[in-house]
Structures are given as C-alpha cells and as structure tokens.
Structure 1
Amino acid sequence: MPLIFRPLGTLLLSATLGLALTACGGSEASGPEVPAGFTVGYGVKTYSFGWNASANATRYELFEDPDGAVGPQPEVQIGGTIGSTSYAHSVASQLLHERVNASYRVRACDASGCGAWTAALVPDLAKAIGYFKASNSGETEGYGASVALSADGSTLAVGAPGEASKAIGVEGAQADNSVPGAGAVYVFTRSASGWRQQAYLKASNTRTIPIPAPYPASMGRALFGTSVSLSADGNTLAVGAPGEASNARGINGDQNNTQAPGAGAVYVFQRTGDTTWAQQAYVKADNTVAATTYRLDVQGYYYLNSAHFGSGVSLSADGRQLAVIAPRASEEALSAGSPTVFARAAYVFSLQDAAWRQQAYVSTPHASGFGSAWNVDSSIAMAADGRTVALRSWPDEDLLVLANDGGTWKQQARLPLPGVRMRGFVVPSTALAADGNTLAVSTADSALVFVRNQGAWTEQAALRPSARRDEYLTLALSNDGNTLAVSTWADASGATGIQGDRADTSVPDAGAVHLYQRSSAAWTQRAYLKASNTNQGDRFGRSVALSGDGRTLAVGATGEDSKATSIQGDQSDNSSADITPGMEPYSSYGAVYLY
C-alpha cells in the first residue's frame, strides 16, 4: 500500500475541525442526549426558553448567536450553568433590532461532558415587543399621546389626555368616566421580575370645567397628560395640562377656580422609596390671564387669550430644572372684532430649598390669528444640566436656542428651518442631547441635526426617512446624542415588527419609527420599526422616547384600537377601530410599544 503524505497545514486543519465538532456537539460529542422540545415564549423584551429533561443530565448550557443588524457576532453562552429545564433571557440591555436573526441552541451535560446541540431556534422578535395599555382602557382617551423614559429605561410614563375619570391625585378610582378630557398618566416600572404598572396619576383638581353657552363643553377639557417628562432617575415627573382652568399664578396657587379655561398648568410629582408617588407642586405661569375670553369664529370655537401653558414640558436630569412652553401666550389686550396677538413663550423654573420658583420667561416674536392648541408648536427641550433650552419662534418658525449665562437666560442662536409648515394636528418636535451640544428638530419632510461647538451651531445632517412631504415627524435623542428615533406617523406600510417592507402602502396612517445612529459625524439608519399589530389609523409614532442610555425605545400609538388592558394583553382585538377618525390625539384607545 503506497504511503500518503499530507502537508502539515492540512493535518493541523483536520485536527482543528475535529476539536470544533467535539466542542459544538458534532459526531464525537459525549454526554446526555439532545434535549427535546426546545421552545421559546415571550415577555417584554424577554425570551422564556424551555426544553424537556434529558436522561442523566446534571446541567444545561444555552448559547446565543446574536447576529444582529450590525452584522455577524461571536456565539456566546448565556445563563451560565443552568440546573433546570427553563431559562428567562432578558434583552433589556439592547434595542430589539440589535437581535435581528439571533439564534439559540441548548445542550445537556453530565460529569462526562456535554451532548449534542438542539437545532438552532430563531425567536419571532416581534413577539418580544412590549405592548402597554391603560389599566382602565377606554374610548377616545388618547393613551400614548405622550411618553417619557428614565435614563436606564426602567421607568415609563404614559399620558392619556382624553382619559375621563373624575379621580384626584394618586391611585384614585379609575372606573368612573364622568369627566371626559380630564386626563391621566400611567407609570410603569421594570424590575427583575418584569414590568408592572406602578402608579395611576391624576391632577389634584380634576373636575368638570363649566363653559358658557353657546360654546361646546369639549372646550373645558383639562387634558392632563398632554406632555410628560421624567428626571434621569425616574423619580421626578412633570405633567402638562394645557386646558386647565384656574387663573392662579406662580406655584401652588388657588387651583379650585375655573375662571380661565385653557390657561394651563403643570403638575410635578415625586417618587420616594422607589414606589410611592405624591404631587410635589402645582405650577402656573406668572402671567396667567384673569379670565378667558371666548370668540365664535366661522371656522369653529376658539379661546382667544388662553396660553395653553403646559403643552410641552422638559425636566433636567436631576429633576430640579423645568422648562414649560405656552404656545399661545397672549401679551396684548383683545381688541373688539380683532384677533388676539399671541406670543409663543418659554418659562423656566428651578427647585431651590425644596420650593419651585420661576427663573425665566422668554417670549418669541408675536403673531396674529386664530387656531386651536393642536395647530401650534408645543415642543420644548432642555439639556440634562438645565442650562440649554430649545424651542421654535413664531411666526417665522426659526429654532431658538436659549442658554443660561451666569444665571441669566439669553438667546444663543437662531437657526432658520427650511420647509416648516403648520398642518392639521402636526406638532413639530425638538430634542436635545444631555450635554446640549446635539439638537434634532423636525421640519415638513426631514429631521435636521445641529451640533454646537464653542457656542456656535452648525447643521450636521438632514435625515429624510420618507419620500413623502406630508409625513408627521416626532423625535427622540439618547443622552449621548448618537441615537435618534424619528417617527413618521402617517407611514402607510402594512408591515409589522422590525425591518419590514417599507415600500408597502396598503395601510394609511399606520405609522413607523426610523432609528438612526451616529458614528463620528455620519448618520446611518439602523432600523425600521412597526407596531406588532399594525392597523390603519393607529398613528404609531405619535409620541416617541428614548432612554438616556439609548437601549430602550417607547412608541405611542394614539389610534390603536384594542380594548386590552395593562401589559402584553390581546393585541388582536380591533373592535374599536376608527371610533373618531381624524380626532387626534383622541382617536381611539391607544397603546405604547417598547423596543
């Protein structure tokens, strides 16, 4: 028999392959048999793996091949040594799109070694999307009109400005529906055991607001929950109620009178002991009108001198600085037969010696005309240190950047924005990174990103998630400014979940969120996100929030139609579809999704 010679490299390769097969459960594997019945269940950003016991097995090993949106990654063991036939694996530390195509396999082991692997299992990522509903879900409540996340993503606040309970304060009776448009906020928290609703918050002066004839009672909605903002630790929460009716001024004034419907208020809540919420302050403008002036116009019913203070709120990271916008502040007396002259105004408050005080009032240029609160810009953003604030001017729609210079608030920059149009219920959006040096703002067809260097602002990127100019854009930034969520809540794709078909146009106003990430100065789209139960008119993306660490994304869909309650309920129910089409933000029950 002739001798056969092989190159040394070939021999080494053969040996390496043999070792690899043994290590990965190939033909040379020893140990118990392959576990049967390898399955996966789902929770909020959680997989629950299970399998049948293998004879004589003393432990199990579960491995993840995390190949995600950024490309191949090495397989890793998760869960350490597992002594049971199940394991709950949380992916809370990543955005869900980072686990696209991730696969899992398990093997049984005993004292002699480990057996062969199960076949790789690829979970349905869409089933791990969090689905949050109100505990008292009801029609036309606009649940999801506003959302906020703590820095680590473990606290979520959701506003429902159309909620109708007459409850007052914290944990009141939820079943009553006698005060439409009173509004509510729901607080959810994540722990090792999963997500749960922690609090149900109402205004301290929930009541029916009398409106004089012939004006409709709907003008008396307080709309508590129109805007929400959380401190970094999630322990301080600001809630805006732009329809609130007291004519009080300053902090903790008389909240019981109803002389000024639409004046607006902000309520500050504090959490202590990680679980207990209480109202800390009732905040009003220092120039609240003494009484609301009404006018009947051919286009509808309007308040004329109601500021809608609280339409937008933003807290600093430590929860001790608060920025509030009043998009329709009136600075001139009403002339008979003439429109009121309006000024979009920003108020800054500071918590000093356990008491809130107004620190600054900044008015933007005047504009005349009529219109409802939903037709004006109510977005305001504050940097983490509370020393930079961004908002829009009116009527030119420039972007104003205000900076605290030695205790005095001054205009640092005025950035012209191309293509801004006020359309229907569009509320343009503004977002700031924690250091205040990255600023994102929506226009008619794009999200513009500006960066600040030594006090000078320049445009870094113009991101256009859609070819349409009539998309409605809402924005959120991570603390480092490197992750940007841009919603297009008129998106018409019928896709569900993650990385679906963007070209589809079969489901009008379903909504979508586009996730961008920055490396150096370059922005790249990383994900195209849809609801797990996409339906027409859901307006997924009506609100968006990113955790400070950029690892959790919350998305509100005020038109979502399921009657489910609480967390991970029945998404398939669509029985309340299109209750009041076009009535943003109160078109249906609403939902919030977590990625």
Structure 2
Amino acid sequence: MTSKSKFLHLLILPAFVLALWSGTPVAASNTHHSAEAGITNRTDFDDLPPDLQEVFESTVSGATAQGKLSVYGAPYDDFGQSVALSADGNTVVVGAPNTDLTDMKDVGVAYIFVRDSGVWEHQATLSNQSMLSPDINTDVETKGGTTIYFGQSVSISDDGNTVLVGAPNSGGFVDQGIAVIFTRSGDTWTHLTTLVAGDAAEGDGFGYSVALSGDGLAAVIGTPGADIDAKEDQGAAYLFTNSASTWSQQRKFTASDGAAGDEFGTAISISDNGGTVVAGAPSAKIGSNIEQGAVYIFMKFLNSWTPVKITASAGEADDLFGRAVAVNGGGSKVVIGAYGDFFSGAGNAAYVYMRAGLSWGGEQKITTPGSSRFGRSVAINDNASRVLIGSTWDKINENTRQGAAYVFDLVDSTWALQDRLVAADGLEDDWLGISAALSDDGEVSFVGTVGIDIAGNSGQGAVYAFTPGGSDWSQTQKLTGACAPNFQFGFANALSGDGLTAIIGAPSANLEGVTDQGAAYIYTRSGPVWVPQARLVASDGLAGDKFGYSVSISDDGNTAIVGAYWATVGANAHQGKAYIFTRTGTTWSEKQILTVAGAVDDWFGLSVAINGDGDLALIGAIGRDVNGKNNQGAAYTFSRSGDTWSYQALLMASDGLAGDTFGRSADFSQDGTWVIIGTPGATVDGKAMQGAAYIFTNPGSGWSQQKKLTTTAGAAHDELGISVSISNDGSIALVGAQGEEADMGRAYIFRRTASTWTQERQFTISGGLAGDHVGFSTALSGDGRIALVGAYGTDEFGKQDKGMAYLFVKQNGSWSAKTILSAADGAANDQFGFSVALSADGNTALIGARNNAMQGHNLQGAVYPYALNYPTQNELYLPLLVR
C-alpha cells in the first residue's frame, strides 16, 4: 500500500478529541531593528580570502540549517524586499512590492507571519485592495499604470500589533506615494488609516521608506523624490503621531544644506519613543565627492528638534553612505550602511556612531574582506550590542551575487565578527541581504533575498529566519509569498508510506493566466513542521486540464503520479492524461506523460494510484465506453522498467454496464499484486447506483478479477466505491458509500481470508444527518487497523458543510470510533474531509478542505496535517494571489 490518499473526489458536475490524536492543527521593521542574513552548515571557508578564512575558522564551528516554511507566489514578486520584526521576535512583516493582483501589475502586498512554538506561520496578507479608503483617490490603481509597489517598505511596533506599509508609487498624483497603517486585534488585521503628505506632489515617492516607533505612536515616512525649494529630488521625511487613534502630520524634516538629487529619506529609522529620527541621503555630494552620502539625525528636546549631520570621516565618491540606517531602541547608537558602487570599489562598509548629549561621534567602521555591497542593509538590537549587516553581492562557493549577512557583537568596545549567515539553498543572483531585521534581544533575525527562484518562479523572493545556537546561528525557516482564490488546494492529497512527503492537488489553479490548468504541490515534513518542496505542473498543460484532480505517491515519496482527466489528447477533448514525476535529492522533474488510445470524454486520469515501490501505476477512465456501453469505465495499468513506463493491461468489470463509472477510485497494495477499483455508478440487482468495488490480483501471470464487493443491505444511490483503500498486504479494504441514507453516508470494511472476501464492519456515525457524505473519502493504514473516513458535508456549530473526518481503530479484534477531527478555524462550506490520506503506520494524516478561504480568497483550499507523535502541525495552504 502506498499513500492511502484516495482520490476520493466525486465529480461534481453542475469535538471531541481523545489522547491518541490531537485534532487541533495550526495554520505557516522596526527599522531600528532592520537587517539581512542566513546560514549553512559550514566547516570550511575555502571560498573566502585567506585573511577572512582565519577569522571564520576561529569563530565559527558550523551551524545547521533546520528547515524552512514557504508558500507559493509568482515570478518577480520581490518577496523579501522589506522586512520588519516585532521586539519579541514573534511577528514579522514581509513586503512583496512587485506582486500582481489579478490584472493589476506590481500592486504589491505585505505578509504577516507569526511564530508559535518555534514554527513560523502565515497569519495575514495585507494588500492594496484592503487599503482603499475615503482619504485617498479610489482610482489609485490606475495612477501611473498599476505600479503601486505596496510593500516597498514595512515597519512594525514592538508589540507586533501595528504595521506600517509604504506604497511609493500610489496616491492621487503619479508616483506621489502613500503609507498605510494596519492594526491587529487577536488574529485579525484591519486597515486603520492611510497617511498622505500634506503637500504631496507628483514624483515624491512618499513611502519609499517607513519607520514606526516602538510604542507604535509615531511614524516617519521617507520621501526621497520630494522637491524642496525647486531642488528636484532633494528629499524629505514626514513625522506623523497617533493621538486617541487619530493620526496627524506633525513635522516635515529636510536637510538645511540639502541639494538637488540628495534623495534625503531614502532610508529612515526611529527610536522606540519617537524622539530620535534618522534619515539617510545616500546621493548627497560631500565636497567634490559625488554620491558620497550623508545621514541626518533629528533629536527632540522639549518641544524642539535638533538636527545633526553625519558623514564618514574618510568618505569617498560613490560610497552611498546612508543607503541603509538603523537606530537602536534607546536612540543612543546608529548603524549606517555605505554599500557603495561595486564597479568603482567605493563604500562596502558600515559605520556605527554613538550619541553624547545632542552630539554624535565615536565613529567605528566595519568591513569584511572579500565582501561585495556590504552595508546594503543594516539592523541593530535594542541595547546596541549586536548589529546585522547585509552584503548582497557576496560570492558563495561558485555562486556570484548569492549574498550573505554578517553578525557583529560589541566586545570590549570593538565590533567583533561572530558569524556569516548564508542561505543553505542559495544560488547565483539571489541577493541575500537586501533587507534585514533583528529582534530586541538580537536572538532572532530575518534576511531577505529578492533574487531567489521558488518552485520555478524566477525572482519570487524569500526571507530567511535565523537564531543563534551557542556562538553560531542556524537557519530556522524560510518564508515565501502567495495564495490564490479558486485553486481548490486540497481537492486531492496523498502521503508517502513514511509520512514524510505529501502531494496535494489543486486542479483549479490558474497558472500565468491559464485558467484551471491545475497544479500539484509537494510538501515535506521535518519533525512537526511541513514545508513546501516543489510545485508540479504539466509541461504541456493547457487551460481546463484540471491537472491535480487526482494524485498518488510511492512509499519513499520519490515517485508521484498526477491525473489531468480533462486534458485534450490529439483531437479528443477531455480524453485525459496522467503524469509521472520523480524526485532526485530535493528536485522534482516530469519523467513521462501517460496516455492511451482513447476517445473524447474518456476522463482518463480521474483517479490514479501508484504502488508502494513506485513501479506500477493505475489510471481510471470512468468515461470509457465498452462494447457500446456508455461510461461503463475502465482502468489501465502501467509498469516501469528503468526510467520508462509502459502500458501493461486494461482492467474492466466482467459484468459492467453503461453508467457504472468503473475507475472512479483506485488503490494498490504495497507490492502491487492487489488492486481495488471503485465503481459507484454500478447497478446491483436492479438498484441504480448502488455501487460496488472490484478486486483484481496479479500474482505474476497477469491481472484477473477476483471479487466484486457489494454490501449486504445495499440500496439504490448508495454510491459504494466512491472511495477505496486497501492494506499493504491486500487483505483489508475500506470502501466509502457516501450516498447511503439520503447522502448521510457510511464506510465499510471488507476482509480477505485466502481468496474469500467478507463484509466485516460498517461505520455509521451516531447522530449523522442527510447530506453529511460520510465515506466520500477514505484511507487505511498499512496494516489495515486504522481507518480515516471523511465527511465533507457535516455541519458543525451551525456552519453548513464545514466538514469533519472520523478516525476508527481496531483493537483486540474490535473496531471502535476513536476521534472526530475538525478544523478549529473552519467555516461554512469549507468541506473539510473532501480528501484524506494516512501514512503506512497511521501516525500521520492529511485532511483536505478544498473550499477553505484563506485571507478572504474563496475556494483557495487548505490541507490540515495531524499526527500521533506531533500533536500540532502547521496548516498547509497557498497564501495569496490569482494571476
């Protein structure tokens, strides 16, 4: 037996929790706490210059990558362009300014993630669509095209309950810019207000940088494109404060000696109490040095602000001093990035300055040999004992511009290098270090990388989370962006025998504007945490294929089959296809497309199954006409020799009739010598659609039908066979009959002794109601002792069709109900239980809720993992957009 998933998905045309199972799954800057970083398990540093090798070998004993959480976005989303972290390190906001929303390009979004027991989970998506309000032009999407860049900058209050997001290309004028404030109550985020400069003008870029005070009561907005006294792009920054939940503009900061092109406000930071504001002007000309850069610090004393200008003591042209800035919570130290011009060799440094009264001094310059664009991002912790510095163009091994981030600690008044953070899966042109953030205690860091490809999406971007282990740091998770409505993620799912790899179908996924092409998603589990590994798509996919309608996976998780029953073959519309994918290491590739000599509307691929060894496949074709009998249905077996799959046999019911829909569901025993095929449309003793399941066996001499399974008290429209599952040794079968008792539904256990099959047990839910659809999905453990039965139409707490799943266990020779599983965050019409899967040992389960709405995206779908050994696991979903 393999995945025990069971492709148990009716073709829809027009509690209590015991100790065994938890039943409660869980869902995945303060610019003075900004930064950029990552780390691998490094024990040598041969790729570094000799002088830096010695430094690292003396300070780093090797850190271990621990895992990553991600969800799927699109090419060039630039997820990770900005990042901010709450003081306690438990809430992070990530900007993705180039994300498209439906037909609007580069609108942008921001994602909220929260950490629970060490696991980062997606909590909310903040978007342009949620920020339109009476105080801004509601035609904002059309200004300057649809390029808004919401998420270009982000910041968060110390308690994590207030977020500020910049959108520098939005507003009533072209590229005027706005900044938007959101607040959290419980787990719900709400748009509070939109900030606009009182003297806003075209091209200001208001919101290019943003910063919130630690108490969330003051916001400063960088506006590097502002014209000051006819000096184009001199730049400015605006201070807003919150009094009694009302935000108002208090002050406009500018450089008294500013000049055209300074771009004052490119980077912004603010202290916890809002009394210290830092603004970078990286393009400022100092003496004759073009773009040497400067930083302006404004300090509030009584009711007035005192400005101080800082420049690097040995600055040069093209340093871009001030391109990144961060002030600590107390406003006593500031770190300034000067990543410079790579081609001129300028910059490539960071500087730390200390406050004394109303003066700043004590310059300390930080550099690292061999780095490139070091200082592109900076962060500092609350007590100013640790800084984090991004270096986006560092060469890692042979990967040019992969990027890195560096951790420095203040030791005896000197900034000492502690670690270089590198993404474990980094590649050329990832640009790790584009953004960064530190928690107040410096124990949690986030580092953005906008160049990384995710699941084939070039430049989608990601953010890496790191925590220190002793004197070293380890990568804890990786966050990436996006979800979509109408994907029906979780329509089908399957688990590998070891329970460590899941495949989840999303047959309604729209890919690059291609409607209902479909996709399947691979997740892997490390401990209790599920993380995405790949998105599978058909190499020849077309609109309406419904790729992902059915899925199955081998015991080792390295071979998967995906059905696309609506695909056109030659001139035959809806004949259907199936696709074989294999995994090498962590890379998935399409190996073969399986088709047969079929006809229009065969629906080949409506169900699929693969045996535990991954060398036999079965594909159902319920629309196949047999000897003039329309839609009698058939199933095809394929076998693998080496890397090649070949047609093996055609299986049909010996007593088949028109409309049987033989092949609606299917499952293999572990070694592939037994197969069970569901036929929910079968007429039995004159009872239309009573349904049946057929057992076939192949001891090595060919396939033969052994038994037709029917129930002892079957009735018309029971639809027995809508779902099927079989044990590893092929001796126990679980068959769903979702139509019994006016669609209340039941499931049945059949047992084989020698060659004789008998009905052993029926599962009836006490208190069940018409329309529950118990048995629509079923899964068995490998030994046949644990049964999972989905009931997607069950109502709970007044929520119609919220859905449930039921766990039954056989102990001491007797079956009993053990647990009711339901989604704690479920809603009406989620249809939780539409698909189910069990690992071979029965310790891991997946339950699909194909209509679950994530962040308001209707019919996006979700899958909930449950575990015996890990009582809480993260919900798997696709958080954000349709394209």
- 1:120–1:139 CA distance, 2 compared to 1 (3 A): closer
Letter in 1 for 2:608: V
**Preserved CA contact (<8 Å) 1:429 1:442:** yes
The correspondence for 2:701, drawn from 354, 372, 377, is: 354
* 1:240 paired to 2:620: yes
How big is each residue's C-alpha offset from its partner over 1:451-482, in whole Å with a ceiling of 9 and x where there is no partner? 01243101111011154353322111111101
- 1:307–1:517 CA distance, 2 compared to 1 (3 A): same
The aligned counterpart of 1:468 is: 827
**Preserved CA contact (<8 Å) 1:61 1:106:** no
* 1:288 paired to 2:656: yes
The correspondence for 1:154, drawn from 536, 558, 564, is: 558
The aligned counterpart of 2:541 is: 137
**Preserved CA contact (<8 Å) 2:679 2:720:** no
- 1:207–1:72 CA distance, 2 compared to 1 (3 A): closer
The aligned counterpart of 2:680 is: 327
- 1:309–1:194 CA distance, 2 compared to 1 (3 A): same
How big is each residue's C-alpha offset from its partner over 1:150-186, in whole Å with a ceiling of 9 and x where there is no partner? 11111111000100113xxxxxxxxxxx222101101
* 1:399 paired to 2:399: no
Q: CA deviation at 1:281?
A: 0.8
The 5-angstrom pairing of residues 435-454 of structure 1 reads 435-443=783-791, 444=794, 445-454=803-812
Letter in 2 for 1:508: N
Q: CA deviation at 1:531?
A: 1.4
TM-score normalised per structure 1:
0.59
The aligned counterpart of 2:840 is: 479
**Preserved CA contact (<8 Å) 2:620 2:666:** yes
The 5-angstrom pairing of residues 87-486 of structure 1 reads 103=466, 123-124=478-479, 128-166=532-570, 178-192=571-585, 194-203=587-596, 205-208=597-600, 221-247=601-627, 259-273=628-642, 275-289=643-657, 292=658, 306-332=659-685, 341-364=688-711, 365-368=713-716, 378-393=722-737, 394-396=739-741, 397-418=745-766, 419=768, 421-422=770-771, 428-443=776-791, 444=794, 445-465=803-823, 466-468=825-827, 470-472=829-831, 473=833, 474-486=835-847
Q: CA deviation at 1:484?
A: 0.7
**Preserved CA contact (<8 Å) 2:788 2:807:** yes
- 1:508–1:51 CA distance, 2 compared to 1 (3 A): farther
Secondary structure in structure 1 of the residue aligned to 2:626: coil
Return the alpha-carbon distance in structure 1 between the equivalents of residues 609 and 641 of structure 2.
17
**Preserved CA contact (<8 Å) 1:37 1:52:** no
Q: CA deviation at 1:66?
A: 3.0
Query: Which structure 1 residue ranges, 5 or more long, are not aligned?
Result: 1-35, 42-49, 74-81, 92-99, 108-115, 167-177, 209-220, 248-258, 293-305, 334-339, 495-505, 536-573, 575-595
Greater shift in the superposed pair: 406-415 or 314-323:
406-415
Return the alpha-carbon distance in structure 2 between the equivalents of residues 132 and 431 of structure 1.
23
- 1:101–1:192 CA distance, 2 compared to 1 (3 A): closer
Letter in 1 for 2:864: H
- 1:271–1:40 CA distance, 2 compared to 1 (3 A): farther
**Preserved CA contact (<8 Å) 1:329 1:344:** yes
- 1:311–1:61 CA distance, 2 compared to 1 (3 A): farther
Query: Which structure 2 residue ranges, 5 or more long, are not aligned?
Result: 1-34, 69-114, 120-395, 403-421, 427-462, 483-531, 795-802
* 1:508 paired to 2:844: no
Return the alpha-carbon distance in structure 2 between the equivalents of residues 468 and 286 of structure 1.
44
The percent identity for this pair of structures is 24
Q: CA deviation at 1:525?
A: 3.6
**Preserved CA contact (<8 Å) 2:624 2:631:** yes
How big is each residue's C-alpha offset from its partner over 1:253-307, in whole Å with a ceiling of 9 and x where there is no partner? xxxxxx112100010110111x010011100001013xx4xxxxxxxxxxxxx10
- 1:153–1:528 CA distance, 2 compared to 1 (3 A): same
**Preserved CA contact (<8 Å) 2:565 2:575:** yes
Letter in 2 for 1:391: V
How big is each residue's C-alpha offset from its partner over 1:222-256, in whole Å with a ceiling of 9 and x where there is no partner? 11111111111111111111111123xxxxxxxxx
- 1:90–1:271 CA distance, 2 compared to 1 (3 A): farther
Letter in 1 for 2:589: R
Q: CA deviation at 1:489?
A: 1.1
Letter in 1 for 2:632: A
Task: Figure out how many residues of one structure are paired with residues of the other and give that number.
Answer: 393
Secondary structure in structure 1 of the residue aligned to 2:722: coil
**Preserved CA contact (<8 Å) 1:239 1:266:** yes
Return the alpha-carbon distance in structure 2 between the equivalents of residues 470 and 230 of structure 1.
31
Return the alpha-carbon distance in structure 1 between the equivalents of residues 478 and 748 of structure 2.
46
The 5-angstrom pairing of residues 515-530 of structure 1 reads 515-519=865-869, 524-530=871-877
Secondary structure in structure 1 of the residue aligned to 2:691: strand
- 1:38–1:492 CA distance, 2 compared to 1 (3 A): closer
- 1:449–1:52 CA distance, 2 compared to 1 (3 A): same
Return the alpha-carbon distance in structure 1 between the equivalents of residues 630 and 695 of structure 2.
22
